[in-house]
Structure 1
Amino acid sequence: MLMPDFLERRSERAELMDDLSAGGEELREALRHLRRLNRLFAAAAPTLHGVRRLWEEAGRPPAFSILDVGAGSGDVNRRLLAWADARGIRMDITLVDWTEEACEEARRYFRSEERVRVVRADLFQLGEAMADVVTGTQFLHHFHCAELPAAVAGMLRASRRGVVINDIHRHWLAWTAVWLAARVLSRNRYILHDGPLSVAKGFRADDWRRLQAECPSGRPWYCAWRPLFRYAVVISKESLRTEDRS
């Protein structure tokens, strides 16, 4: 089946969540409802897939740190902590978001978890080498096409070992599934508007190839399609250092 015309190219429309002049309780509710959608569509799995790959590449160290940018309430990191516990890995996670509502919701959600801290900041305000791995789950699609290389560069700068990007495959089946799920699970204005739009702002294989060519330094990328219409993109600094030494 041919893809609908409105999904042929990435949408450049802004999501309601990107409007910093709005927010309040309606946004906090949306973040809670988004956790339901993330569980339904197994949103954590591609992030874990990428983090595990970089951890193994690093020699399976006993301690590993994560910085999750655009984290929202950071719920996908529950899966990372469970994985780390099962392997005896000392993991600490920093959640970064630019809205106070997201930070408040993340602090509430992880209030009993000492391994997680929450920081309100913009991606481009972050320092260098702040964590082993920088992750972005359903984060990169918020940027316009022209902004994507700088966003990836910012994530790389903040990481020591590499970056894991988990984002949506722009496909009519994914769009339909999210449109329906949003209306079954929520009446929140953010969810109803931003859920399907996030799919329209998602990526296809050609988009990732184009972005890789536009990003500085020609860093090696691993890009894999994952179940339930996701992409896991892993950019390894270690691979780059190995190539530089050869």
Structure 2
Amino acid sequence: MSSGRRMGHMSRELRSRSTAEELMDDFSQGGPELSEALRHLRRLNRIFSAAAPTLYGVKQLWAHAGKPRSLSILDVGAGSGDVNRQLLKWADKQGIALAVELVDLTEEACSEARRYYEGEPRIKVVQSDLFGLPEGRADIVTATQFLHHFGEDELPRAARCMLRASRIGVVINDIHRHWLAWAAVWLTARLLSSNRYIVHDGPLSVAKGFRSEDWKKLGQELGIPGKYYSWRPLFRFAAVIDKHQASRGDGAERNDENV
């Protein structure tokens, strides 16, 4: 098959979200191979600017809340939590007292996060399940490359649990399902790593990602008026849900890039 036909085939395959299972979703596996994958994933996150949409969304909610001088963030499905480095740097520049809680279900992720943030008092690591989080646990609840692990039936419940655990709002940072993103991740994953998780799950995570129609459907399920999501580089979406605006029925998108 020619490269043009192959890309055409992939574009058709990506019209709807893949339902295939990622290796990281099999909790009977893990161990050193998963720990290595989490370290390699940090490199991929840097290359593809994975932290930027999360920071973008947090800045929006912080501004909408009146720019408080202290802020708590709960990052669910955090892995080793590397995207939060950018949040810590931003908080330092703004003079914000920031506390970040990293939540993941696997021991490997929690161990990697503790090693990665050793000596950083603003970071707390907790092994827990998204669905067991108490109400109002943090000001802002974030999820980076996590919601695509949930199927269509589970997705609204996962988003509602995030909203319930937040006091101000939610930031969802996930992948744009597009053949260019798929090709870039497929190639980069193989150039950087031979780890089975990275090579298999990297491209599949794009195939399980989102397009505008998926966010519109989720917004309808959650009863969110207006546009609450935006496309961000590189092939990402930032979905920002302000609980106060949502309760007022004010879902208009704002853009406070200078905060």
Q: TM-score, structure 1 length as denominator?
A: 0.96
Structure 1 stretches of 4+ with a deviation exceeding 6 A read none
CA RMSD across the alignment: 1.3
Counterpart residue number, 2:154: 147
2: CA distance, partners of 1:15 / 1:55? 33
Aligned equivalents of 2:216, 2:53: Cα separation in 1? 18
State the Cα deviation string for residues 52-75 of structure 1 (Å, max 9, x = none): 000000000000110000000000
Deviation at residue 218 of structure 1 after TM alignment: 3.4
Rounded to whole Å, the distance in 2 between the matches of 1:131 and 1:148 is: 21
CA-to-partner distance for each residue in 1:119-166, whole Å, 9 max, x for gaps? 001100100000000000000000011110000000000000000000
Q: Which amino acid aligns with 2:220?
A: A
The answer on 1:232 being equivalent to 2:222 is no
State the distance in 2 between where 1:124 and 1:193 align.
27
Q: Distance in 2 between matches of 1:129 and 1:34?
A: 30
Q: Is the 8 A contact 2:70 2:98 kept in 1?
A: yes
Q: Contact between 1:35 and 1:75, CA under 8 Å: does it hold in 2?
A: yes
Q: Is the 8 A contact 2:98 2:122 kept in 1?
A: yes
What pairs up with 1:8-27 in 2 under 5 angstroms?
8-27=15-34
TM-score (norm 2): 0.91
Aligned-pair CA distance for 1:4: 2.0
Write the distance in 2 (CA, Å) between the matches of 1:191 and 1:138. 14
Distance 2:220 2:249 in 1: 18
Q: Which runs of 5+ in 2 are unaligned?
A: 1-6, 251-259
Number of equivalent positions: 243
Structure 1 position 90 matched with structure 2 position 100: no
Q: Alpha-carbon deviation of 1:214?
A: 1.4
Contact 1:62/1:88 (8 A) holds in 2: yes
Amino acid at match of 2:182: W
- Is the 2:224–2:249 contact (alpha carbons within 8 Å) kept by the matching residues of 1? no
C-alpha separation between the residues in 2 aligned to 1:98 and 1:112? 22
Letter of the aligned partner of 1:228 in structure 2? L
> How far off is 1:187 after superposition?
0.5
CA distance in 1, matches of 2:246, 2:161: 17
Matching residue of 2:133? 126
Q: Deviations over 1:172-221 (max 9, x none)?
A: 00000000000010000000000000000000001110111112x43655
Partner of 1:211: 218
- AA paired with 2:238? A
